[in-house]
Amino acid sequence: MAEDPAPRHVRRTHTADGPPRRAHADRRLPESLGRRYLLEFDTEGLTAARSDVLVVGSGIAGLTAALGAAAAGRSVHLVTKSRVTNTNTWYAQGGIAGAVGAGDSVELHLADTVVVGAGLSDEDVVRAVVTEAADALRDLQALGVDFDMRSPGKVDLHREGGHSLPRVLHTGDATGAEIQDTLSGVVRRAEGVGIFEERFLVDLLTAGDRCVGALVYDPKGHDLEVFWADSVILATGGAGQLFGVTTNPTVATGDGVAAAWRAGAEVADLEFVQFHPTALDSAASPKFLITEALRGEGAYLLDCDEKRFMVGIHPLAELAPRDVVSREIFKVMARCGRPNVWLDARHLGERRLKEDFPTIWEKCGEEGLDLSRDLIPVAPAAHYMIGGIRVDIDGRTSVPGLYASGECAASGLHGANRLASNSLLEGLVFSRRIVRALEDEIPERASRIVSPAADDSTVLSLPLARETIQGVMSGFVGVTRSEGGLAEAASMLESMAAVLDYSLRRPAELEMQNMVTLAILLTHAAWYRAESRGAHWRDDFPQRDDEDWRVHTVWKRGRRPTKAPVRLAAVTTEGAS
């Protein structure tokens, strides 16, 4: 007998790794993802602090928010998971983009951002960010950030992937470290900012539908603490540690996004994870990033026959958008049977390489490689979470009193694929916008919140759990995906979801619960979007589908996924990849 036809909302797919299966069709998430708080607590008996503004995270987004709020006369507490300087910002090599050079303009920066964003960038957001870039960058310089100068008063600019001309301000190849160190020093000296390092965000606290603070764990004192605040700004960074190969530090486990999910905030576009094409292929973890600026200066990508392979694939060759380059590298690696391709910068010369890329020169030297004489082994690595907590143009989430900025947020700036060096800019500009938006807040305060008891009898093998998550995500939810693989990943991850039913306490255990939560959400988001676009590539749906999928995918605890329209830019996105 012939099989009954599928309902109209279900699309049947044929995959390379199995028989026809049903597409996601709004498959329900595990019930354990509906849990509100991770552990049992009563705020009445806990050490408590109160401020006007609580900032969680200490990269460029968090530090900018803390400085701005304090300058506006608000009391600020800044809580960070590790030391203030241990952030994704510190690892950013390439730089920060802004239309400040001769021949550049806001319109050109907007157009490049939208083309790379593959039709999902929101025009109002893009225009706000690229328009405010120049003032924000000048303020960074005024705080002491020392960008490289070509001549007095004229900043030096690099060109990176997806940019139509040089637009990236930098400090050698250690721009993130320069920004991080400068802002960290300013914040430590600022009046009105209390800094609490090595504090783990357990959960956001809500009274009614409003965020009123955060529950935080102090691993040194083995104590839970309450930070009450009129407004909470999440700047907790990304989640590269969900994958086995990443450029992100070990603290990047998506804690802020997971906590916002539990608090009832909408999350969006989680399927879009950007893999950086050129991480140094070594035994190190996290992987050392080799900045795109090196290719912008003329370095080539070579296959196993030492032939350039990006020429003819994309008009920008090695400077094509990152999703294009990463997918092509994986194809070449499969064809050659190698774990890497080669980056060739030999023709740039020793003096130029040493002067312009000292960090890369030194790191390659530690690996026994001479950048001016040797081919450098590189491969893609998980680098940036494009999706996250859904925010409006001023960083507001769907939970009153809660804001998000930087990599943990889904602002609509990046669309389906981030333009190189727009990430630091996003955190900088959005945090400034959030500080302005705080003027309109009407705070409500809570004095006590109680979370019910949960089972605390489990014993976990944390290294094995983390390794399992990373293996599943790298194997099935990486650069290329398929319905069969995503279904397999969902099944494997959901078998781990039972751990969310337990009331755990140690940061490593809580961190693992956050990783399970975000891995399941990301996998379902990738399974749900039945097309290929930007950083999301489905082998079973290789075409971009603007009719059904030119939308943001939105998820909320206790609700099925929905589609939100994109505010389309008034520039062409033809040929976006």
- Contact indicator for 118, 534 with CB cutoff of 8 Å: yes
> Any idea what DSSP says for residue 29?
P
- Please indicate, yes or no, if residue 128 is contained in any of the structural domains: yes
For residue range 299-327, what is the model confidence (pLDDT) as tens digits? 999 999 999 999 999 999 999 988 899 99
Give 173's pLDDT tier (boundaries 50, 70, 90).
Answer: confident
Q: Is 239 found in the same domain as 343?
A: no
Q: Is 348 found in the same domain as 290?
A: yes
Residue 95 neighbours by CB under 8 Å, 6+ apart:
158, 160, 168, 169, 170, 171, 175, 293, 421, 424
pLDDT of residue 500: 85
pLDDT of residue 334: 93
Question: Rounded to a whole number, what is the distance in angstroms from the first to the last CA of the chain?
Answer: 42
pLDDT at 454 over 80: no
pLDDT at 178 over 50: yes
> Any idea what DSSP says for residue 53?
E
Which domain-ending residue is among 373, 406, 440? 440
Residue 539 neighbours by CB under 8 Å, 6+ apart:
15, 16, 480, 481, 482
pLDDT of residue 575: 37
- Contact indicator for 529, 551 with CB cutoff of 8 Å: no
- Return the active site residues: 322
Q: Is 307 found in the same domain as 262?
A: no
pLDDT of residue 22: 55
- Of 163, 62, 64, give the one whose Cα is nearest residue 112: 163
Distance separating alpha carbons of residues 208 and 211, to the nearest angstrom: 8
**Mean pLDDT to the nearest integer, 429-442:** 93
pLDDT of residue 311: 95
Rg (CA), the chain: 23
**Mean pLDDT to the nearest integer, 59-78:** 97
Q: Is 298 found in the same domain as 265?
A: no
Domain CATH code at residue 307: 3.90.700.10
For residue range 195-234, what is the model confidence (pLDDT) as tens digits? 999 999 999 999 999 999 999 999 988 899 999 999 999 9
Q: Is 120 found in the same domain as 228?
A: yes
- Contact indicator for 107, 165 with CB cutoff of 8 Å: no
pLDDT of residue 5: 32
- Please indicate, yes or no, if residue 562 is contained in any of the structural domains: no
Across 114-118, 147-151, 406-410, 538-542, least confident range:
147-151
- Of 535, 491, 93, 74, give the one whose Cα is nearest residue 324: 535
pLDDT at 24 over 90: no
- Please indicate, yes or no, if residue 25 is contained in any of the structural domains: no
pLDDT at 4 over 70: no
- Please indicate, yes or no, if residue 248 is contained in any of the structural domains: yes
| The total number of structural domains that make up the chain | 2
| Percent of the chain that is helix, strand, coil (3-state, to 5) | 35, 25, 40
pLDDT of residue 392: 97
pLDDT of residue 405: 98
Asked if the bond preceding 321 is cis, omega within 30° of 0, the reply is no
185 by DSSP, 3-state: which?
helix
Q: Is 107 found in the same domain as 88?
A: yes
Q: Is 370 found in the same domain as 310?
A: yes
Distance separating alpha carbons of residues 124 and 334, to the nearest angstrom: 41
- Please indicate, yes or no, if residue 8 is contained in any of the structural domains: no
pLDDT of residue 1: 33
Domain CATH code at residue 241: 3.50.50.60
Among residues of the chain, what percentage have pLDDT more than 70? 93
Report which of residues 87 and 120 the model is more confident about: 120
**Quick one: 305 exposed, middle or buried, by C-beta within 10 A (0-12, 13-18, 19+)?**
exposed
Could you give the dihedral angle defined by the CA atoms of residues 474, 476, 477 and 482, in that order, rounded to the nearest 10 degrees? 150
CA–CA distances in Å: residue 192 to residues 72, 145, 188, 401, 403: 10, 22, 10, 20, 20
Give 12's pLDDT tier (boundaries 50, 70, 90).
Answer: very low
- Contact indicator for 216, 202 with CB cutoff of 8 Å: yes
**Mean pLDDT to the nearest integer, 160-185:** 93
Strand partners, 149: 155
- Tokens standing for 118? 């593959």
> Any idea what DSSP says for residue 23?
-
- Please indicate, yes or no, if residue 508 is contained in any of the structural domains: no
- Please indicate, yes or no, if residue 125 is contained in any of the structural domains: yes
- Tokens standing for 47? 């050490």
pLDDT of residue 574: 38
**Mean pLDDT to the nearest integer, 241-257:** 95
Give 457's pLDDT tier (boundaries 50, 70, 90).
Answer: low
Q: Is 172 found in the same domain as 140?
A: yes
Give 7's pLDDT tier (boundaries 50, 70, 90).
Answer: very low
pLDDT at 516 over 80: yes
pLDDT at 13 over 60: no
Q: Which domain holds residue 188?
A: 52-272+386-440
Q: Is 315 found in the same domain as 263?
A: no
- Contact indicator for 467, 167 with CB cutoff of 8 Å: no
Place of tokens 């599943």: 472
Distance separating alpha carbons of residues 414 and 424, to the nearest angstrom: 12
Q: Is 256 found in the same domain as 160?
A: yes
For residue range 120-140, what is the model confidence (pLDDT) as tens digits? 999 999 999 999 999 999 999
**Mean pLDDT to the nearest integer, 533-547:** 96
pLDDT at 21 over 60: no
pLDDT of residue 11: 37
pLDDT at 536 over 90: yes
**Mean pLDDT to the nearest integer, 331-347:** 96
**Mean pLDDT to the nearest integer, 15-42:** 75
CA–CA distances in Å: residue 239 to residues 153, 242, 329, 496, 499: 38, 6, 23, 18, 19
Strand partners, 225: 47, 216
Which domain-ending residue is among 331, 347, 381? 381
- Tokens standing for 357? 């890329």
**Mean pLDDT to the nearest integer, 554-574:** 78
Q: Is 224 found in the same domain as 294?
A: no
- Please indicate, yes or no, if residue 21 is contained in any of the structural domains: no
- Contact indicator for 36, 265 with CB cutoff of 8 Å: no
Q: Is 405 found in the same domain as 351?
A: no
**Quick one: 397 exposed, middle or buried, by C-beta within 10 A (0-12, 13-18, 19+)?**
buried
Instruction: Round the average pLDDT of the chain to a whole number and report it.
Output: 91
- Tokens standing for 21? 């299966």
> Any idea what DSSP says for residue 373?
T
- Tokens standing for 407? 């990599």
pLDDT at 27 over 90: no
Place of tokens 């009407």: 442
pLDDT of residue 576: 36
Which amino acid belongs to residue 355? Answer: E
Among residues of the chain, what percentage have pLDDT more than 90? 78
Which domain-ending residue is among 395, 420, 440? 440
Query: Phi/psi at 417 (nearest 5 deg)?
Result: -165, 125
- Of 423, 413, 410, give the one whose Cα is nearest residue 383: 423
Report which of residues 151 and 180 the model is more confident about: 180
pLDDT of residue 228: 97
pLDDT of residue 152: 86
Report the 10 Å Cβ neighbour count for 526.
28
